[in-house]
Amino acid sequence: MNQISQNAHVASTAIIHDGVRIEEDVVIHDYVVIYPGTVVKKGTEIFDHCVLGKPPVSPGITSRVLKDNYAPLVVGEHCVLSPGVILYAGTTIGDRNLFGDHCSVREECVIGDRCILSRNVSVNYNTKIGNDTKIMDNSHITGNMIIGDHVFISVLVATTNDNTMGREEYDPDHVYGAKIEDYVTIGAAANILPHVVIGRNAIVGAGAVVTKDVPENKVVMGIPAKVVRDVR
């Protein structure tokens, strides 16, 4: 049985599966599909064709084994989900976040408040994103990655988590993405390799390939990225 607030506006074409909770002043547009158990908190607007709370499903060929059950997706207050957004089960989203068209976030991620994930951004499993962080269009955020507060990641940025590039079995002890500390800025089409730590308030230039740790308050550029100056 669902709990849908009488003050929510749910399009007649929205498919709300069992056990969903929709709080007051939520607006759900046409052809949205919400999977069982999902929670959508007050004031959030969900545009057409979004899919919320779907569990990950594999035909048995993924190297990382999926769980039998995931906690429900929780979407916080006063978020905006643009058309075609897909958020998976087991993920928790804070308040006042904006998701661009066709953005997709996989299972067991935690996203804070007031973030922007723009169009076609894909975020993989078990990644943590802080508050006030922006990730621009067509970038990919890998699994097992940590991104702090007030981070800016520009368009078409690549991040990865596996130095063996799938040549060995999945092992979470060696498969994890970068740690990006608070107030970091990353330029367009930068390439952030696994395991690096990008220190607080550092700036990564457009097109840089970051192969090792970046000290805080430094600007790095180039391939491979090298320190060129302090952040002014």
Residues engaged in binding a second copy (CB under 8 A):
13, 15, 29-31, 33, 45, 47-49, 51, 54, 57-62, 78-80, 82-84, 86, 96-98, 100-102, 104, 114, 116, 118-120, 122, 124, 132, 134, 136-140, 142, 152, 154-156, 158-160, 165-167, 185-189, 191, 193, 203, 206-207, 209, 222-223
**Cβ closer to a second copy: 6 or 16?**
16
Main-chain dihedrals φ then ψ at residue 93, nearest 5 degrees: -115, 135
- Between CA 101 and CA 119 the distance in angstroms is 5
Residue keyed to tokens 């990865």: 160
**Cβ closer to a second copy: 102 or 200?**
102
One-letter amino acid at 125 equals Y
Q: How far is the CB of 207 from a second copy (least distance, A)?
A: 5
**Cβ closer to a second copy: 6 or 166?**
166
Q: How far is the CB of 165 from a second copy (least distance, A)?
A: 5
- Between CA 204 and CA 139 the distance in angstroms is 15
Residue keyed to tokens 């004031």: 43
Q: How far is the CB of 49 from a second copy (least distance, A)?
A: 6
Cβ atoms of 179 and 194 within 8 Å: the answer is no
Main-chain dihedrals φ then ψ at residue 168, nearest 5 degrees: -125, 170
**Cβ closer to a second copy: 110 or 209?**
209
Q: How far is the CB of 206 from a second copy (least distance, A)?
A: 6
- Between CA 100 and CA 129 the distance in angstroms is 16
